[in-house]
Amino acid sequence: MTRQMNTHAAYLDPILNHCQCNVHDLLQILRQAQEHYGYIHPDAIDYLSEVLALPRAKIEGVASFYSLLYLKPHGEYRVLFSDNITDRMLGNIDLMNSLCSQLWVEPGKVSEDGLLWVNTTSCTGMCDQGPALLVNNIAINRLTAERVSAICELIRERVPLPSWPAEFFAIENNIRRKDILLNSDFESGSALAAMLQRGALETLQEVKISKLRGRGGAGFSTGSKWEFCRAAAGEQHYVVCNADEGEPGTFKDRVLLNSYADMMFEGMTLCGHIIDAKKGFLYLRGEYRYLLDHLQAVLQRRRQQGLLGSNILGHAGFDFDIEIHLGAGAYICGEESALIESLEGKRGTPRNRPPYPVTCGYLNQPTVVNNVETFAAASLVALHGGAWYAGIGTEISSGTKILSVSGDCERPGLYEFPFGVTVAEVLADCGARNTQAVQVSGPSGVCVAANEFDRRIGFEDIPTAGAFMVFNQSRDMFEVARNFVQFFAHESCGFCTPCRVGTSLLGNMMNKLAQGHGSPYDFAEIEKLNVLLQSTSHCGLGQSACNPVLDTIAKFRPAYDQRMMHTEFVPAFDLDHALSQARRMTGRDDTGAHLERDHDTR
Amino acid sequence: MTQDNISNPTTFMLDNKIIPFSEGQTIIQAAMAAGEYIPHLCYNPEFKPHGSCKVCTVKANGRQAASCTQLAQADMVVESNTQQINDERRALLQMLFVEGNHFCPSCEKSGNCELQATAYALEMMSPHFDHFSPNRPLDASHPEYLLDFNRCILCSLCVRASRDVDGKNVFALSERGIKTQLIVNAKSGKLGDTDFSDQDKAAHVCPVGVIIKKRVGFTIPIGERAFDVNPISVSPHPVKKGA
Ligand SMILES: Cc1cc2nc3c(=O)[nH]c(=O)nc-3n(C[C@H](O)[C@H](O)[C@H](O)COP(=O)(O)O)c2cc1C
Ligand code: SF4
Ligand code: SF4
Ligand code: FES
């Protein structure tokens, strides 16, 4: 098919022109193409392949990597229920089943009339106001039976999304405790002015004095990262803000992006000046698509205010601008080198490291990648000085940390505390009672039991990217771990053998335990898998994928023992269970139709 | 005498043997140049290391790393042929076996297959894990070649060869996680609709039995094939006749 003849050119051309046919924008192009058409049509791929001079298999390989992009028709309405453990605890599965039965669809299958498709997806970052779903990638929260019925009606009547009741799309900030960051009456431009007055190098010095450490989890010194990057040779330097926020139970960046975007963009701009970058990217998770217009507007205002663009604040040669890239449903793209691959329009596979992004990042140029909260905190440091910041929190963990509290408590939401706060203090503040456990920092973090609630949040004790999921005594910690394992299996990028195969094996083992076929042998197997995944996986995802299981085995053993019907190994495949289907079909239930008595009737 | 005088900056230790290396060489490159075998699958000396199968894992200065991507460093202490590491390698091989469908006795690649040969070298006796038994249809659309995706270990050597050597991009990886699969660059998804040919490097790099030449089946009898003659630890990359 020639260029002119392709019927998809009409909507693809403006998208392609906007990015000047830059192949590094492939993911952005695909995402926008899908917004026009509901899925990425094979003929659209012909066209993109020709115009961008990319092999179609490469385009398909990229598109199929991201769970929010579709290469086949997926219905006019694509409904994805967030499936974090906190959504589970609020009854998301019942609500999904109710929606499916009202609309006569099966989860995972496009309805016969092509109207809709319903499925689950990884945590959408709305745990403080779940259960949540995405419809055509736009978030709806606080689902109730009534709301689900109303959604069914709207879908049945084919009401276009913009005409759905506005309150469905309302998203609360739920800020419960403010400290220096959430409380600051930050004026846009003030931190940049302070830097220009002090000098770029002097400001870098302040960031180092502040002892600010990354808020995305790993806790690397921000000042050192910026210094390394500044010193690294390259044609261009880049600043990247990591707003992928994919760790289940984490939603503090959502609020910062919504209400503190200036502070974050200003932090990126500071960094740009310090490392001599002209360009920055905000990598926004696809689930936060609803924030895009707002963020674009903030950027536009900042340009008008002379805080982005050329000669920022009248300072000759201070040129910096920011572009927003959206992800499309891949937790692994929060890992910085996978994020950079994704920014370059590729599959989000973590790179071999070293070299690290500070020397070899976006387009192999020196790149700083920091979390949203890190950049916002850097603005405070530029404004108030490093010593002031270092005086808050603890010796090792300076400043404050914003926690995303969800689960069994009266007041879920954002809590900003100086580092060093104990788990018990947070629990008291959020109104949690009869707490059995807290999962700090999400599935890849640690599960803290009641006898450890005097432990402290901080790099010296419990480091965290922010998630704080509370489980009361009524919760089954085995199901918590099983949900997390399913998350890792779903999000493994598939690059390396141990994680690609191991996370699925682990998921199957947990299902086996759930069905009551566990034995001590399976524990030994899980422990072996853990050692293997920890030591041979290519990145942090595989390395931490066994944590939730090992933590809960160590701390909540009865939840597992209760499921161990066997003291000796039993294969996962249960022949008698398989026969039960045949029994149902033939209506037989005599002894000859049984291998042994069913477990559940025993 | 200072430390610098004692140590030789251009060697490292591999299981108590001194291995010389030059700047920029990875551990496996230096080891192989010195005639030392480290088990590996996605590494092929003709291509840039990929680092995905992790079968080449070693312990370098106490930390586990893929030896195909880890740069050799002066005085590094590398453990490779130890019980612990070989156990882990075996588990990785077992994962690769159960992830696909491998029926060696009926596979044309048997005896020339690096997965099979490495499993022998590491004395892998059973698949250990439960089989995933995926459903992966064959592609027989090409006049000269057959694709049996059941045996793909996702090493991406064919992807790299077609892209970097042949300049054709016949293959790519798609999907993710356990669903990751090899795809072919055609709207139909069929090899017959690509410009793939016997002259391509990509036709000759697959370490397992996915990319199979038609009508030459079993010209070299089993028992006389490359790894039947010499174990893979002795001759890791033989010229594979009849492959
Ligand atoms: C699997 C995985 C997922 C990650 N997800 C995120 C994320 O969503 N947001 C984030 O800021 N950092 C995430 N990180 C950490 C980043 O790799 C990186 O360390 C961080 O963005 C650096 O910023 P910081 O120094 O400001 O924390 C993730 C790491 C891994 C291994
Ligand atoms: S550990 Fe998992 S997520 Fe990380 S590279 Fe390997 S397969 Fe991908
Ligand atoms: S077909 Fe062969 S060469 Fe290609 S990825 Fe699969 S195993 Fe590797
Ligand atoms: S040979 Fe090194 S990871 Fe595959």
Q: Decide which of B60, B81, B102 is a domain's last residue.
A: B81
Q: What pairing do the DSSP bridges indicate for beta strands B63-66 and B57-60?
A: antiparallel
CATH of the domain at B56: 3.10.20.740
Give residue A602's pLDDT: 33
pLDDT at A600 over 80: no
R_g (Cα) of chain B, nearest Å: 19
Q: Is the confidence at residue A97, as pLDDT, over 70?
A: yes
Task: Answer yes or no: do B124 and B76 share one domain.
Answer: no
State the Cα–Cα distance between residues A463 and A453, nearest whole angstrom.
14
- Same domain? For B95 and B165 the reply is yes
**pLDDT tops 70 at residue A56:** yes
**B225 lies in a domain?**
no
Cα–Cα distance, A219 to B25 (Å, whole number): 31
Q: Do A57 and B172 lie within an 8 Å CB cutoff?
A: yes
Please indicate, yes or no, whether residues B117 and B196 belong to a single structural domain of this protein.
yes
The reply to whether A55 and A196 lie within a common domain is no
A143 and A162 within one domain: yes
Regarding whether A427 and A336 lie in a shared domain, the answer is: no
Same domain, B152 and B60: no
Residues A264-287 have pLDDT tens digits of 999 999 999 999 999 999 999 999
User: Does A49 contact chain B (CB < 8 Å)?
Assistant: no
Q: Among A44, A65, A86, give the residue marking a domain's end.
A: A65
The residue contributing the CA closest to ligand 3 atom 3 is: B206
Residues A61 and A98 in one domain: no
pLDDT by residue (tens digit) across A125-170?
A: 999 999 999 999 999 999 999 999 999 999 999 999 999 999 999 9
Q: What is d(CA A192, CA A178) in angstroms, rounded to the nearest whole number? A: 24
Average predicted confidence (pLDDT) for chain A? 94
Give the dihedral sign, CA B94/B95/B96/B102. positive
Confirm if A370 and A358 have CB atoms less than 8 A apart.
no
- Both A98 and A210 in a single domain? no
Domain hosting A508: range is: 478-561
Ligand 3 surroundings by CB, under 6 angstroms: B 152-158, 182, 205-206, 208, 210-211
Q: Are residues A38 and A180 in the same domain?
A: no
Residue B233 lies in a domain: no
Q: Which residue on chain A is closest to B93 by alpha carbon?
A: A497
Is A501 a domain residue? yes
Q: Nearest CA to CA, how far is A490 from chain B (Å)?
A: 7
* pLDDT confidence bin for A390, thresholds 50/70/90: very high
List pLDDT tens digits, range A60-93: 999 999 999 999 999 999 999 999 999 999 999 9
Question: Which residues of chain A have a CB within 8 Å of the CB of B185?
Answer: 55-58
Domain boundary among A475, A501, A527: A475
Query: Is B66 in contact with B56 (CB distance < 8 Å)?
Result: yes
* A447 and A305 within one domain: no
pLDDT of residue A589: 77
- The enclosing domain of B139 has a CATH number of 3.30.70.20
B148 to chain A, minimum CA–CA distance in Å? Answer: 18
Residue A71 has a CB neighbour count (10 Å cut-off) of 18
- The shortest C-alpha distance from B1 to chain A (Å) reads 33
- Euclidean distance between CA atoms A468 and A415, whole angstroms: 10
Q: Is residue A371 domain-shared with residue A342, that is, in the same domain?
A: yes
CA–CA separation, A457 vs A435, rounded Å? 17
CA distance linking residue A160 with residue A489, whole number of Å: 34
Task: Tell me, yes or no, whether A500 and A467 share the same domain.
Answer: no
Between A401 and A584, the higher pLDDT residue: A401
pLDDT category of residue A2 using cuts at 50, 70 and 90: low
Any ligand 2 atom below 6 A from CB of A332: yes
Nearest-neighbour CA in chain A from B71: distance (Å) = 9
Among the three residues B57, B81, B105, which one is the final residue of a domain in this structure?
B81
Pick the range with the lowest mean pLDDT from A360-369, A559-568, B12-21, B25-34: A559-568
Contact B61, B27 (CB under 8 A): no
pLDDT at B217: 75
Backbone angles phi, psi at B32, to 5 degrees: -65, -35
Pairing of strands A279-284, A238-243: parallel
- Give the model confidence (pLDDT) of A159-180 as tens digits: 999 999 999 999 999 999 999 9
Same domain for B99 and B183?
Answer: yes
Q: Are residues A13 and A150 in the same domain?
A: no
Q: Is residue B193 part of a domain?
A: yes
Mutation target for A interface from B124, B132, B173, B191: give the one with most A CBs within 10 A.
B173
Q: Which amino acid is at A370?
A: N
The helix/strand/coil state of B133 is coil
* CATH number of the domain to which A137 belongs: 3.40.30.10
From the CA of B40, give the closest atom in ligand 4.
Answer: 1
In a domain, B145, yes or no: yes
* CA–CA gap between residue A475 and residue A482 (Å, rounded): 13
pLDDT tens-digit readout, A174-232: 999 999 999 999 999 999 999 999 999 999 999 999 999 999 988 999 999 999 999 99
The residue whose CA has the least distance to atom 8 of ligand 2 is A493
Question: Which residue, A345, A269, A279, is CA-closest to A307?
Answer: A269
In a domain, A2, yes or no: no
User: Is A580 a member of any domain?
Assistant: no
Tell me whether residue A581 is in a domain. no
Total domains, chain A: 5
Q: Are residues B48 and B123 in the same domain?
A: no
Within 8 A by CB and 6+ apart from A277, the residues are A236, A237, A238, A239, A271, A320, A368
What local confidence, expressed as pLDDT, does residue A3 receive? 56
Residue of A250, A263, A273, A229 lying closest to A380 (CA atoms): A263
Q: What is the pLDDT of residue A13?
A: 96
Q: Which of A335, A349, A496, A544 to mutate to test the pocket of ligand 2 (most atoms within 8 A of CB)?
A: A496
The gap from C-alpha B147 to its chain's centroid, in whole angstroms, comes to 18
Q: Examine the fold and report which residue of B81, B105, B136 is the final residue of a domain before the chain moves on.
A: B81
Give ipTM to 2 decimals.
Answer: 0.95
Compare CB distances from A55 to B57, B154, B169 and report the shortest one's residue.
Answer: B169
**What's the one-letter identity of residue A437?**
A
Domain co-membership, A369 together with A261: yes
Distance CA A238, CA A216 (A): 18
What domain count does chain B have? 2
Reply yes or no on whether the pLDDT at A571 is more than 90.
no
Residue B179 within any structural domain of the chain: yes
- pLDDT < 70 stretches in chain B: 1-9, 239-243
Q: Of A56, A494, A536, which has the smallest distance from its Cβ to B177's Cβ?
A: A494
The CA B32 to ligand 3 mean position distance, Å, reads 22
Say what the pLDDT of residue A574 is: 67
Interval A320-340 mean pLDDT? 98
**Domain assignment of residue B34, given as a range:** 3-81
**Residue B189 domain-assigned?**
yes
Task: Single out the residue in A358, A390, A422 at which a domain terminates.
Answer: A390
Q: Is residue A462 part of a domain?
A: yes
Residues of A with CB below 8 A from B57's CB? Answer: 535-536
Q: How far is CA B96 from CA A306, B81, B107, B153, B235, in A?
A: 56, 20, 16, 6, 22
Same domain, A367 and A464: no
- Given pLDDT bands bounded at 50, 70 and 90, which one contains residue A596? low
Residues B124 and B199 in one domain: yes
Tell me the pLDDT tens digit for each residue of A486-506: 999 999 999 999 999 999 999
Q: pLDDT value at position A44?
A: 97
Peptide bond into A131 cis (omega under 30): yes
Residue A313: CB atoms within 10 A of its CB come to: 14
Average pLDDT of span A385-408: 98
